[in-house]
Structure 1
């Protein structure tokens, strides 16, 4: 078996991850000259330049990035295998998760995870976009894509959008729509798409990656077009649109996990009208080669149990 200089591999991984020789030296508790020596030795062995150097900052070459993808993953596997034999492989897990899912659904549930599984030290990596599935990013993921062949996936939630507004704004809507008669039948009568367009519509750009794409889809579900007269206020993310709705600025489209846990969910009213399925499905993903790690499987089972208990997915 022909192997590269093994002492150089953790040094290479640290430099590649930190983009700095000095930062890698500090993390590894060695001198910067020792870092430079190990990298030079590795480059000489491979016959390839691994880094471009610009002042104090270094960046990977194309060959270096390809090598880092393979070496970084291999070092993680060695670390995990060693931890398993030592009996504490569950010490730390990194979960990459969408910011809205983390803030509104996952974080409020973490005390229960710690109560049931105190051996798991969970570090959250927030992502505003679909994360790149890689050991360098996290150990497991919440993702909407299932194209990475090296990973396994478990369905957590199929997204649907429905209109909400604040309690106070609903009272205003009822007055303007002539529904403030105190009749329970009036309160439960569906709000029509035409009536919705009389009020500001709070739109989240990131759902369909286009302006008013969420409201376009909602109106299409009713076989109608978003009226040109509609007043649409634009937000980059659902968290922002929901906050605007909470402060009585109009009607937002949100989903189940955004309102399933937080106490402030009682501030909102789900309007009596239809919902629309976005087509996005949320999955818990983990590398198939790490399927026997107890920490990952414990977290997977807990997440799925919580999704079932909270109504995000069926049994």
Structure 2
């Protein structure tokens, strides 16, 4: 059934005036004029059909009806405020984190359950678009590959990868005694350090051999390698799961460190945001480690 309710704003005016026993003090608390408070309470009295205050030269006092009405109005407003506060705590704060798809699925997502348990009032949205993000477009934090030193940014290094060629067990067995220049290489177009950097670091020759296949994500490259389509340049710890499962095996010597790393980055002018600080603290307390 439809409930008959007085204008809710007049209840707020009445509660303040009854608690303070002053239209003037209620007006100051609510940032209104005394006239606005007085007119609002008059409207409530007309709606109820009974006076709530006795107005005198020395101030105001509650009538019998006003005295009985006041604690119920105060309790109702307090209940509304508490319910609204709980809803705001649950939904008011969203933290948007930008990360590359493979990092997000392999290293970030396993940590989100713990973060959500520790900070249930912060909703996390993970954005995996590969374009360079702009913090003015609603992104709060980014996990960015590079060497750090970005102007106007607060950046903390999360981890530095190591590079290792990987292939399916069958293809790796065929290539065990052959050089990289003789192997079908899979290129990853979205990374800064690929085969040329690995060759420079290891002293291996590629002889200018063009890659047989190219992909724009690590996951696709690793999937192609596991299907025997070529050798991909794996990145630890992102490739740990495949190496542990045996769907990919390492080739051509030990891993070599990459020059670039993953950094947790935010705009300098947002460094004091509580949600950003909470996420930074969580990542620092639960670091990503190489196997």
Classify the TM-score, shorter chain: 0.5 to 0.7
Q: Per the alignment, in what secondary structure is the counterpart of residue 237 of structure 2?
A: helix
Aligned residue in 1 for 2:238: 258
Contact 1:95 1:125 in 2 (8 A): yes
Structure-2 residue corresponding to 1:49: none
Residue in structure 1 matched with residue 100 of structure 2 by the alignment: 98
Cα separation, partners in 2 of 1:261 and 1:234, compared to 1, 3 Å: closer
Q: Deviations over 1:199-220 (max 9, x none)?
A: 2111112223xxxx72222222
Q: Which has the larger radius of gyration?
A: 2
| Contact 2:190–2:217 (CA under 8 A) maintained in structure 1 | yes
Deviation at 1:106, TM superposition (A): 1.5
Name which of 279, 291, 300 aligns with 2:259. Answer: 279
Distance 1:292 1:90 in 2: 18
TM-score (norm: length of structure 1): 0.55
Q: For the Cα contact (< 8 Å) 1:155–1:281, is it kept in 2?
A: yes
Higher mean alpha-carbon deviation, 144-153 vs 287-296, is at 144-153
Residue 138 of structure 2 aligns with which residue?
137
Rounded Cα–Cα distance in structure 1 between residues aligned with 2:163 and 2:108 = 19
Contact persistence 2:91–2:121 (CA under 8 A): no
Q: Which residue of 2 aligns with 1:5?
A: none
Aligned length: 204
Contact 2:97-2:143 at 8 Å conserved across structures: yes
TM-score normalised to structure 2 length: 0.59
Contact 1:144 1:283 in 2 (8 A): yes
- In the alignment, structure 1 residue 243 sits paired with structure 2 residue 244: no
Partner of 2:187: 203
1:311 aligns with 2:290: yes
Q: Identify unmatched segments of 5+ residues in structure 2.
A: 1-84
CA contact (8 A) 1:98 1:126 kept: yes
1:54-203 alignment runs, 5 A limit = 91-132=93-134, 134-144=135-145, 146=148, 148-174=150-176, 177=177, 195-203=179-187
Contact 1:158/1:281 (CA < 8 Å) preserved in 2?
A: yes
Equivalent residue, structure 2, for 1:186: none
Taking only aligned residues, the RMSD between alpha carbons, in angstroms, comes to 3.1
C-alpha contact (below 8 Å) 1:90/1:294 kept by paired residues: no
In structure 1, list runs of 5 or more residues that go unmatched. 1-82, 178-193
Compute the displacement of 1:271 (Å).
2.6
Asked if structure 2 preserves the Cα contact closer than 8 Å seen for 1:108 and 1:261, the reply is no
